[in-house]
């Protein structure tokens, strides 16, 4: 399970973190779950509680060793988003509403054509913004200081 870059990286991802998906190929075929993580460099996703593999971890300082079950990544082509109305796997298309907003819609043979909402988990940040000023951050008094005024001639270069 080493890191391997994808040969052809997907540019426009239609499957997002937090989507409800069904696994269509592999040992967990037919099971559904929520996407926990998207690995874009490998074209893979991790589905919560699915595709479990045994991982042997050696004991070290601060942690125990043993055999653990972890979720292995699945290729993005092996999962499909579930239609919110029918509950069956479907493809994803995009459509613009009357007010101009771009939304995802379900498409395919057994799809209802309904809007697939963006997952709520995307509204929160994975890494919170720093609240403390670091040593390389500019103080606010320097940020708000006015250094150029054309009318007063402040900050004008000498040509």
What pLDDT, on a 0 to 100 scale, did the predictor assign at position 3?
A: 63
Question: Residue 125 pLDDT more than 90?
Answer: no
Residues 136-142: what's their mean pLDDT? 85
Does 159 have pLDDT greater than 80? no
Q: Is the pLDDT of residue 138 over 90?
A: no
Q: Phi and psi at residue 12, in whole multiples of 5°?
A: -110, 105
Query: In sequence order, what DSSP letters do the residues of 13-47 get, joined into one string?
Result: ----TT-EEEE-SSTTTT-EEEEEEEETTTTEEEE
pLDDT in tens, 67-104: 999 999 999 999 999 999 999 999 999 999 999 999 99
Reduce the DSSP state of residue 77 to 3 states and report it.
Answer: helix
- What are 25-42's pLDDT values in tens digits? 999 999 999 999 999 999
> Phi first, then psi: what are they for 158, rounded to 5°?
-85, 110
Task: Give the chain's count of helices (H) and strands (E).
Answer: 1, 10
CA distance 40 to 17: 11
Query: Closest by alpha carbon to 81, among 117, 27, 50, 55?
Result: 117
pLDDT tops 60 at residue 1? no
How far is Cα 155 from Cα 33, in angstroms, rounded to an integer? 60
CA distances from 108 to 44, 90, 140, 153 (A): 23, 6, 54, 65
């Amino acid at each position: 399970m080493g890191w391997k870059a994808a040969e052809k990286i997907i540019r426009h991802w239609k499957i997002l973190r937090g989507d409800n998906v069904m696994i269509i190929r592999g040992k967990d075929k037919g099971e559904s779950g929520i996407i926990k993580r998207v690995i874009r460099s490998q074209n893979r996703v991790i589905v919560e509680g699915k595709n479990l593999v045994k991982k042997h971890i050696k004991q070290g300082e601060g942690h125990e060793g043993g055999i653990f079950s972890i979720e292995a990544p699945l290729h993005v082509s092996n999962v499909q988003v579930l239609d919110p109305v029918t509950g069956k796997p479907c493809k994803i298309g995009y459509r613009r509403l009357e007010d101009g907003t771009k939304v995802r819609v379900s498409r395919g043979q057994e799809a209802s054509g309904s809007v697939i909402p963006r997952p709520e988990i995307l509204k929160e940040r994975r890494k919170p913004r720093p609240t403390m000023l670091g040593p390389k951050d500019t103080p606010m008094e320097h940020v708000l200081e006015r250094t150029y005024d054309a009318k007063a001639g402040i900050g004008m270069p000498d040509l």
